[in-house]
Amino acid sequence: MRPVIGIIGNAYELNDRYPVHAGGTMNSQAVAEVAGAMPLLIPADPRFVSVPELMAVCDGFLLTGGQPNVHPSEYGEAETPAHGRFDRARDAITLPLVRDCVAAGQPIFGICRGFQELNVALGGTLHPEIRELPGRMNHRMPPDAPLAEQFALRHAVHLVEGGVFHRLLRATEVMTNTLHGQGICKPAPRVIVEGRTDDGTPEAVRVEGAAGFALAVQWHPEWNAAEDPVSRALFGAFGAAAAGWAAAKRAPGGAKSG
């Protein structure tokens, strides 16, 4: 049986009136085809699910990207127009989920907003708009371009030699599709930045001392994951970690969760 990876969904309004929880098909495809796991879309809302329930059901979690941002009150700042839209229900699930997974050693992999959630959950802060900082590039997605152009590789990320990402990707520089407006301002005490773009923006992090897989990237490895060597390595390692958690859970005395 494949391990189960919970994919954090995002709240939307279909046709501007019908509330839904949704997740990009490319996330499910990367989990199923590259990580070798069963994707399970999670409605990230505390009215419907709890963190202990999710940890009992899933063997790992993919913290996906999404347009709404983490609310700045979660890192001690006041809300401003620059912070954009929010999803407070998702905040209420993902932030404690990150903390509990790190404590338990249960695998988590953060992408884009998930990268930011990992940092905030562990005590870090965010810049509301990276492109407004001196010397920084515009990391946002081209708004009107075709999907393939929007997700095309366009920024180099330089990795710390000897770090987890260097060992995993077997390179000190990789090309990525960094597509984001916000970014890390102050890394959390246990969040170690292992990858940055040419302008110094953090793009790859790990959690120091985590008992299990706890990595996040600010780019979108779910795009074209089966063909891209960087994406294959990341999702492959994530899937292996989830499979290890599932095997430990089935063993006598099993992995503890929640």
Catalytic residue (choose from 117, 129, 203, 222): 222
Helices and strands (H and E) in the chain: how many: 7, 13
Residues 6+ apart with CB under 8 A from 146: none
Please name which of 35, 132, 116 lies closest in space to residue 75, comparing C-alpha atoms: 116
Distance CA 135, CA 130 (A): 10
Beta bridge pairs of residue 157: 174, 197
Per the residue annotation, which of 112, 117, 139, 155 is the catalytic one? 112
Per the listing, tokens 């998930």 go with: 114
**Rounded to whole angstroms, how far apart are CA atoms 74 and 255?**
30
Active site residue 222: yes
For residue 18 the two structure tokens come to 């019908």
127 carries an active-site annotation: no
Q: What is the DSSP code string of 98-148?
A: HHHHHHHT--EEEETHHHHHHHHHTT--EES-GGGSTT----SPPTTS-HH
Catalytic residue among 127, 139, 155, 220: 220
Q: Does 220 participate in catalysis according to the annotation? A: yes
Q: How far apart are CA 109 and CA 215, in angstroms?
A: 5
Question: Quick check: helix, strand or coil at residue 44?
Answer: coil
- Report the distance separating Cα 51 and Cα 94, nearest Å: 8
List residues with catalytic annotation: 112, 220, 222
